[in-house]
Amino acid sequence: MLAVGVLAAISVKAQKILVVDAEGDPIPLATVLTEDGNIIGTTNLDGVLNDVKGADRLLITHVAYKPQLVTVALLKDGKVAMEDQNFGLKEITVTPKPYVYVETYYRAYAFINDSLRYYHAGIMPNAYDGQKKKTHTGSTDNSSGYFCPNFRVGLTWGARTSVLKAGNVRRCIAQDLINNGESAKKYHLTAEASGKDRWLMKNAEGTVGKVEREKGTINLTMNASKAQMYANKVNGQEKLQKLREEKNYEYQYTERFNCDEKGESNVEDFVMYSNHWQWDGGKGRMKFIIETYAVDRGYMNEKDFKAKKKELKKTYRAVMSLSQLEEYERSHGIPALSSTMRNAISKLKQYK
């Protein structure tokens, strides 16, 4: 009985993993999947996933790091070290024009009850008008593909729009948060320094995010559902708060921007981000992951942007096959899918 108890304790301990970078710092919002591509969960702000649900082998992915396939029994203290993708962009040297142009490539995954059901990737042209402080988002036929029409699920809280405009970019809010600016005030957040170029974003219920500045980048990770639901409560939005609680709603995101010596970032400094949504739907637990990478940047006027949208639509008019998507990824320096995810995607109806 004692032996059985010891084995059980070891088994329970092995279920917890800690995902870190090369310096040993935790990596929040890493996606943990089984070897055949079913989703297990995502790491929290401390880089921890408490239960891998008995899986022997794990695929761990993150928008900013190279995928890792690991054997749970061989991990020391459940720790997994990931290698940076080193995905970056050349500096913009063109004379500024009214529009900041950022062309993005996105991947959208949809899971029902942990099983991958839909996947789509596409190119999205974006322009930010600095004078009017307005973002313009184009679309190409491949960008609306099979994903939403075939999912046939009632999506809430703007998720449908976010999926269809997955390539949309915005200004980096990390600097505003750590300066306790408008974004922090909107969600009743306070920045608390936790080290050199490190901040924790907190509300009255605890830590909901973190900002890190290093190697010329500024990185933000937020448990946005906790921030949103606390703001709902404080602002008296009882109906929305109740709906989110009933749906067991979760929303987290991470983003990376280049930054200058002062740590400031703008739209043209966007590098990548990932959004994760979860809620209980009519067909089971719904999980969405969207990864977005900047592939081109520059400055334009309105006429240039319209011409660019037209050019992209003509070039990528048809829904792209998996092999065509992979060729685009290779030619634009997008980190490749892991073989596990590629195999899972290739089994989906739209890619067979």
Q: Give the predicted TM-score (pTM) of the model.
A: 0.88
Radius of gyration of the chain (CA): 21
> Cα separations (Å) of 40 from 31, 292, 347?
8, 21, 19
Q: Look-up: residue for tokens 């939403």?
A: 148
Report the alpha-carbon distance of residue 28 to residue 255 in Å, rounded: 11
Model confidence over 18-60: pLDDT tens digits? 999 988 999 999 999 999 999 999 999 999 999 999 999 999 9
Model confidence over 169-201: pLDDT tens digits? 888 999 999 999 999 999 999 999 999 999 999
Specify the higher pLDDT residue, 347 or 144.
347
Mean pLDDT of 201-220: 94
- Rounded to 10°, the helix 339-346/322-331 angle is 150
The pLDDT, as a whole number, for residue 144 is 46
Domain boundaries, the chain: 2-81, 99-351
Indicate if the pLDDT at residue 148 is higher than 60. no
Q: Could you say which architecture CATH assigns to the domain 2-81?
A: Sandwich (2.60)
Max avg pLDDT among 28-32, 108-112, 164-168, 279-283: 28-32
Model confidence over 294-320: pLDDT tens digits? 999 999 999 999 999 999 888 887 778
The pLDDT, as a whole number, for residue 282 is 76
Report the alpha-carbon distance of residue 200 to residue 218 in Å, rounded: 14
